[in-house]
Amino acid sequence: MFRLATPPDISERDLVERCQQNDQPALKRQSQRLLYERYKRAMFSTAFRILNDYDNANDALQDAFVEVFRHLDQFAFRSTLGAWIKTIVVRQAVRKQQLEGRFQTLDEAVHDQPAPLRDTVTGAELDAAIRTLPDGARTIFLLVEVEGYMHREVAEMLGISEGTSKSQVSYAKKLLRQRLS
């Protein structure tokens, strides 16, 4: 007899396979729920940092998981499942930001001397300062400095040049230094 219970410690590969069980809809739905529950907090955090808006982050998260389940058969295990899902979440958040017309990069030439930074900055202060950055600069800063994407990847993802990606990170750092000094 096949057991429907899906243990929380199930491997990524087994979870993906169970999410694709079209001949067992109850197992498929249960496994999809487990996958969502396993990744929703981290993915919401990523979307929220990019969008800086609770409702928009939830919308992006929902759209991203629809895409995850729609294209799960294309996941080839070349990376972790979480990394693959995060890429989809980032793209959905950026797409949402662009659709709203909030995403603008600045043509700011940044060659000023850095502002001195206080000796101690709390995580909450840094988070608050990041949230005040202009949308384009904040998004690119988060993708490069927090999420670890390369400038080439960010440029490709956002449809901008690699130089624009680099200048936006530099501009974001300059603004953060000013706001935290």
pLDDT > 90? residue 17: yes
Cite the residue boundaries of each domain of the chain with CATH code 1.10.1740.10.
12-99
Could you please state the CATH topology (level 3) that the domain comprising 12-99 is classified under: Rna Polymerase Sigma Factor; Chain: A (1.10.1740)
Cite the residue boundaries of each domain of the chain with CATH code 1.10.10.10.
123-180
Distance CA 137, CA 52 (A): 12
Provide the token pair at 139: 């998004």
pLDDT > 90? residue 51: yes
pLDDT of residue 121: 78
pLDDT of residue 16: 93
Q: What is the mean pLDDT of residues 139-167?
A: 90
Provide the token pair at 43: 């993915």
Q: Which CATH number fits domain 123-180: 1.10.530.10, 1.10.10.10, 3.40.50.720, 1.25.60.10?
A: 1.10.10.10
Q: Which amino acid is at 89?
A: V
Distance CA 146, CA 49 (A): 10
Share of the chain above pLDDT 90, in %: 63
Query: Following DSSP, what letter does each residue of the chain receive, concatenated?
Result: -------TT--HHHHHHHHT-TT-HHHHHHHHHHHHHHHHHHHHHHHHHHH--HHHHHHHHHHHHHHHHHSGGG--SSS-HHHHHHHHHHHHHHHHHHHTT----------SPPPP--S---HHHHHHHHHTS-HHHHHHHIIIIIS---HHHHHHHHT--HHHHHHHHHHHHHHHHHHH-
pLDDT of residue 111: 41
pLDDT of residue 119: 59
Whether 81 and 16 have beta carbons less than 8 Å apart is answered as: yes
Residue tagged 């729609």 (tokens): 70
The 10s digit of each residue's pLDDT in 87-135 is: 999 999 999 988 876 545 554 544 444 444 455 778 888 889 999 999 8
User: Largest Cα–Cα distance of the chain, in whole Å?
Assistant: 70
